[in-house]
Structure 1
Amino acid sequence: MMINKQSLLTYVYLLVYVSLSSGVILYNKWFLSAKYFNFPYPITLTMIHMGFSGAVAFCLIRILKVVSPVKMTFNIYVTCVVPISAFFASSLWFGNTAYLYISVAFIQMLKALMPVATFLVAVFWGTDILRCDVFLNMVLISVGVIISSYGEIHFNMLGTVYQVMGIIAEALRLVLTQVLLQKKGLTLNPITTLYYIAPCSFVFLFIPWYFLESSGMEFSQIQFNLWIFFSNALCALALNISTFLVIGRTGAVTIRVAGVMKDWILIALSTVLFPESTITGLNIIGYAIALCGVVVYNYLKVRDARASQLTSESIPDRAVKDNGYFASVRLTLASLSGTSIGDCTK
């Protein structure tokens, strides 16, 4: 009976994650779109998310003391948290700006490039090796995305560039998280992650906001609705927390399946909620090809992770190292399926 309850709880977590993830992305698209709420300031919106999340995390840790802070030295903060926050802020900035130019459906199709970017960055950084089978999957994914882009009716080069830059920044963040934080032996839960990352990301976002958006914002024309702004930031915070709960409770394969479901749900819902977002047959064919490559790539990574875990069981001296590697693979796979924290505020 206990197993059934635990399984049910896992499915509830997954349902909440898929619902929140899809809802936040559609909410942000509606929020930023000139045809709907008309708040075309993606950096400002992201700063609101970061400021709200950081404030909540501060209250939970410093005032209510629900969660204990980790031991964070100045050296770790400067060498680890700051660069990770910089790429995190960049991925949010570029990813949210893309919603001004291209549809939600096409953005989800472009996100299939995440494994390609993560793999190439990992190889460059020395945390992964260039293998023929993985490289062929990268080619397959790239071909699928190219076909999908060719079939996009409302193709916009600027929006596509923004989204690709966001993907690259997110890949850099993931690899840096693996290289820097795990080498320091630092483990962050959802609240402590927001506590350290959100304020620093807010500062990094302030720089482009000052030069790109502050001078052009006309506050008299902004439709300020406290409930809409608050509910949007609250949904982003809830998604951040649910994401880490799902990652901690399920395996990489389960997260991958949930991510695929979320992508298809988003593509379908976006065409219903935003009539201007049309999908062609070539879009679907290209995305299906790319998705096949993503699934095969994730299978290879999960297989490698399981082999690493078996090795750790047979060689006790390497247990800590192998378990750290397995955790990093789970983190990477989580991001590929759309469950990374970078995706939470987009």
Structure 2
Amino acid sequence: MAFCSTLAFLIVRVFKWVDSIGMSREAYTTSVVPIGALYALSLWFSNSAYIYLSVSFIQMLKALMPVAVYSIGVAMGKEGFSWEVMLNMTTVSVGVAIAATGELTLVVIGLVVQLCAIACEATRLVLVEFLLTKKGYSMNPITTLYYVAPCSFVFVFVPWFFIEFPKLWHMPSWSPDYFIFTTNAAVAFALNLAVFLLIGKTSALTMNIAGVVKDWMLIYFSWTQFHDPVTRVNIFGYGIAFLGVCYYNRLKFKKMKEKEEANSKSETTGSTADEERGLLLGSGSSAKEEEMIANHQANSAEEAARPQK
């Protein structure tokens, strides 16, 4: 977060490659601060889950992210409620539950921590989408990081300073690998840009649906490289969840196409109505002109018929 804050500050304030927006203190407090706090909690919980759970199982649990995003979106009025979608989300949840029953190294505290991370991340994504599209701010990925990253850095730094830093300070053998930290921070910066850009162009739910492909890749990598145990029950349950997410993606795409067709039809109808209105106005103008000409001719004939003095 410090790395992202520094780069965003340099780009916006020093090099001025991107213009900043005028955000009031009240707007920053009510919109950006909750996003920064949720981002910090999401990072803290998700990183802590790796202490207790395997990489592959954590990715399986992340299939619940669309369920959480949809539920929170409905609660905040961002998504419309649909029984069909809710049934689909229930199918995804059942699939993840089946995958959890087949986990050989399940630790309850790790499961709870990861579920908390999913809840925080889903809420953050919905708030980011709300900030980008509903608050009237024209924010690109750089300006979003410029405002969110410093706030998130503060929320992460405070507990780290009191909880983890004293332990590191008393470890004489510990020394940071600056190359690993720098490259990791650069990847995190690129990831944040990609996330904010995708949310701004589509939606938070679209990002999580696309992330399912990433989860499959990580599960395979964890299985082949880290030799994490992956059972048939894991794969069966996650397969159900994956199909549920794919079906929801299909519903979302169908709804989007219908909306585009409706907008296109509305624009065509509006153009036709304007043309007809123009023709009617033109016809009315011609009739009025003809009436004026007829009156003029009648007056001329009447004057010609009068006797001359």
Report the CA distance shift for 1:252/1:220 in structure 2 as closer, same or farther (over 3 A).
Answer: closer
1:213 aligns with 2:164: yes
Change (3 A) 1:157 1:248: same
CA contact (8 A) 2:56 2:219 kept: yes
After superposition, residues 136-215 of structure 1 pair within 5 angstroms as 136-215=87-166
Deviations 1:211-233 (A, max 9, x none): 43233333423232111111111
Separation (CA, whole Å) in 2 of partners of 1:252 and 1:167: 13
2:14 aligned residue: 63
Say yes or no: does 1:223 pair with 2:175: yes
Cα distance in 1 for partners of 2:260, 2:151 equals: 35
Q: CA deviation at 1:118?
A: 1.1
- Which structure has the larger Rg? 2
How far is 1:309 from its partner? 3.4
CA RMSD of aligned residues (A): 2.6
Once the two structures are TM-superposed, the CA of residue 251 in structure 1 deviates from its matched residue by 9.9
- So what's the TM-score if we normalise by structure 1? 0.70
SS at match of 2:172: helix
Structure 1 unmatched runs, 5+: 1-49, 317-346
**Structure 2 residue 23 is matched with structure 1 residue 72:** yes
Higher mean C-alpha displacement, 235-244 vs 150-159:
235-244
Pick the aligned partner of 1:267 from 202, 215, 219. Answer: 219
- For structure 1, which segment, 165-174 or 185-194, has the greater mean C-alpha deviation from structure 2 after superposition? 185-194
Superposed counterparts of 1:27-106, under 5 Å: 50-106=1-57
Deviates more, 1:191-200 or 1:232-241: 232-241
Q: How far, CA to CA, are the matches of 1:77 and 1:252 in structure 2?
A: 21
The one of 236, 243, 247 equivalent to 2:188 is 236
Return the letter of the residue paired with 2:99: S
In 1, Cα distance between the equivalents of 2:203 and 2:65? 19
Q: 1:315 to 1:291 in 2, by over 3 A?
A: same
Q: Structure 1 residues 245, 74: closer, same or farther in 2, change over 3 A?
A: closer
Alignment partner, residue 297 of structure 1: 248
**Alignment length, in residue pairs?**
266
CA gap of 1:83–1:243, structure 2 versus 1, over 3 A, is closer
Q: Post-superposition shift, 1:249?
A: 8.0
How much identity, in percent, do the aligned residues show?
47
Q: Structure 1 residues 125 and 250 mapped into 2: Cα distance closer, same or farther (>3 Å)? A: closer
SS at match of 2:51: coil
**Residues 253, 302 of structure 1: 8 Å contact kept:** no
Once the 2 structures are TM-superposed, how far is the Cα of residue 93 of structure 1 from its aligned partner? 1.4
| In 1: Cα distance, 2:27 partner to 2:187 partner | 30
Structure 1 residue 180, shift from structure 2 partner: 4.3
- Looking at structure 2, the residues matched to 177 and 312 of structure 1 have their Cα atoms a distance apart, in angstroms, of 26
Confirm whether residue 133 of structure 1 aligns to residue 80 of structure 2. no
- CA offsets, 1:188-239, max 9 Å, x none? 2221111111000011112332443233333423232111111111121122
Measured against aligned partners, the alpha-carbon deviations of 1:138-197 in whole angstroms (never above 9, x if no partner) come to: 111111111111111111112211111111011111222334443221132221111111
- Whichever residue aligns with residue 241 of structure 1, its letter is L
In structure 2, the CA distance between the partners of 1:256 and 1:72, relative to structure 1 (3 Å rule), is closer
Q: Is the 8 A contact 1:252 1:302 kept in 2?
A: no
Q: Cα deviation per residue 1:290-318 (whole Å; 9 max; x = unaligned)? A: 111111122222322333334444557xx
Letter in 2 for 1:89: A
TM-score, normalising length: structure 2: 0.78
